[in-house]
């Protein structure tokens, strides 16, 4: 029997959203505009920053991502990581959505919208390339940014880390075969250096730094750790906004030159994001997975590892290809759309709980 319960709006279990976080969507759009404007009016400095790469992974962006996710990783005590076993159903939902649904649903959506609905409005010589870029975008689950979204949704950090680690392991073996299958290629050249360096840069290094810092802070007492987390929390969000400024300064020219194409390519991406996140969220509810695990499960199902997608698109099809542009659209809409998904999972917590609490 399922019991109907009500969680008070001011319950301590609700995510605590401060003034800065409350208006985060506004700051995001402002930073997108600022990034595009700066990239157009001050191209020199941003071209130099964009050129600081290791295996097509931008180092300044990587450092900013560290500042984003290290405060979240500081909360993780690896001795308690075994707690995630109670959410094993949520991990299975995550893997099913990311590897059994997401790439294939995007392939279908890309075919319908790019080759049928919008075909007459798109350059005919780029149609197949656009489809390829959208598939590349969907075939790589988010690695770093999901920590930010999970934190905003009050997700279980142990669950978030576990699902990211498992996805990364699978991605090393499954990314090339799935993309090759969906693109109809007998073989595909994956920039393995980009893939492996990205995993190291966005997971291994920040996890290591966070655990070293955690150990040093705890030697000074629990209060030292809590003070550090309080201090670093706004830095994490500032790093997110700074990352947006850089990304859109890098890609602003492509966005401004082809706004109609970008709007059309955004349609299948938006549908896919909401479809996959809703499916993951509802499946977790049906399986009675706790809300703090269902949130990151839904969020990772909606977001993409756009750094790898962009690098692979450029490697396979060229910098000025439709595939590269399609992956850039993923960068364009990733943050605003993911913030909307965060808002949805936060605002539906009472509804979710009514379907998961047993009498």
Q: 314 near 156, Cβ under 8 Å?
A: no
Within 51-191, residue ranges assigned H as helices are 59-73, 88-95, 102-112, 127-138, 145-152, 157-183
Q: What is the pLDDT along the chain (359 residues), one digit of tens a residue?
A: 333 333 333 333 344 445 566 666 678 788 888 988 998 899 888 888 888 887 767 788 888 878 877 887 787 776 666 666 778 899 899 999 999 999 999 999 999 999 999 999 988 888 888 998 899 888 878 777 788 888 888 898 888 888 887 887 787 778 878 887 887 754 556 667 766 776 777 767 888 888 899 899 999 988 998 898 888 878 877 887 888 788 788 877 777 887 888 899 999 999 999 999 999 999 999 999 999 999 999 998 788 877 677 767 766 776 667 887 888 788 778 778 888 999 999 999 999 988 665 43
pLDDT at residue 9, as a whole number: 39
Alpha-carbon span 285 to 358, nearest angstrom: 12
Q: pTM for the complete prediction? A: 0.74
Within the chain, residue ranges assigned H as helices are 19-22, 24-41, 43-50, 59-73, 88-95, 102-112, 127-138, 145-152, 157-183, 192-199, 205-219, 222-257, 259-286, 291-302, 306-317, 322-347, 349-354
Q: 242 near 46, Cβ under 8 Å?
A: no
Alpha-carbon span 104 to 53, nearest angstrom: 31
Q: Which residue has the tokens 């157009």?
A: 40
233 closest CA partner among 77, 20, 5, 57: 20
pLDDT at residue 347, as a whole number: 93
Pick the CATH number of 19-354 from 1.10.10.10, 3.50.7.10, 3.40.50.11310, 1.20.1530.20: 1.20.1530.20
**Strand-pair partners of 358:** 2
**Strand-pair partners of 268:** none
pLDDT at residue 188, as a whole number: 54
């Amino acid at each position: 029997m399922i019991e109907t319960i009500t969680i008070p709006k001011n319950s301590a279990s609700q995510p605590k959203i401060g003034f800065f976080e409350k208006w985060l969507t506004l700051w995001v759009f402002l930073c997108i505009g600022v990034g595009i404007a700066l990239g157009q009016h001050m191209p020199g400095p941003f071209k130099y920053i964009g050129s600081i790469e290791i295996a097509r992974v931008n180092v300044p962006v990587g450092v900013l991502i560290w500042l984003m996710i290290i405060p979240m990783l500081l909360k993780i005590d690896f001795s308690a990581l075994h707690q995630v076993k109670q959410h094993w159903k949520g991990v299975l939902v995550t893997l099913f959505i990311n590897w059994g649904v997401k790439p294939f649903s995007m392939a279908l959506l890309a075919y319908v919208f790019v080759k049928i609905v919008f075909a007459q409005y798109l350059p005919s010589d780029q149609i197949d390339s656009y489809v390829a870029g959208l598939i590349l975008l969907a075939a790589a689950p988010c690695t770093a940014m999901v920590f930010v979204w999970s934190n905003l949704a009050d997700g279980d950090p142990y669950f978030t880390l576990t699902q990211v680690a498992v996805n990364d392991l699978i991605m090393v073996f499954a990314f090339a075969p799935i993309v090759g299958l969906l693109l109809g290629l007998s073989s595909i050249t994956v920039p393995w250096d980009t893939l492996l360096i990205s995993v190291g840069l966005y997971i291994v290094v920040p996890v290591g730094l966070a655990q070293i810092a955690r150990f040093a802070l705890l030697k000074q007492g629990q209060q030292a750790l809590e003070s550090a987390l309080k201090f670093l929390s706004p830095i994490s969000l500032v790093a997110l906004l700074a990352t947006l400024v850089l990304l859109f300064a890098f890609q602003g020219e492509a966005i401004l030159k082809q706004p109609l194409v970008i709007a059309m390519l955004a349609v299948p991406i938006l549908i896919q994001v909401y479809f996959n996140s809703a499916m993951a969220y509802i499946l977790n509810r049906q399986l009675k997975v706790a809300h703090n695990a269902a949130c990151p499960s839904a969020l990772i199902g909606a977001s993409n590892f756009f750094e790898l997608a962009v690098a692979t698109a450029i490697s396979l099809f060229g910098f000025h290809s439709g595939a590269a542009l399609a992956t850039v659209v993923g960068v364009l809409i990733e943050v605003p759309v993911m913030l909307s998904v965060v808002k949805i999972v936060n605002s539906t917590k009472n509804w979710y709980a009514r379907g998961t609490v047993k009498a």
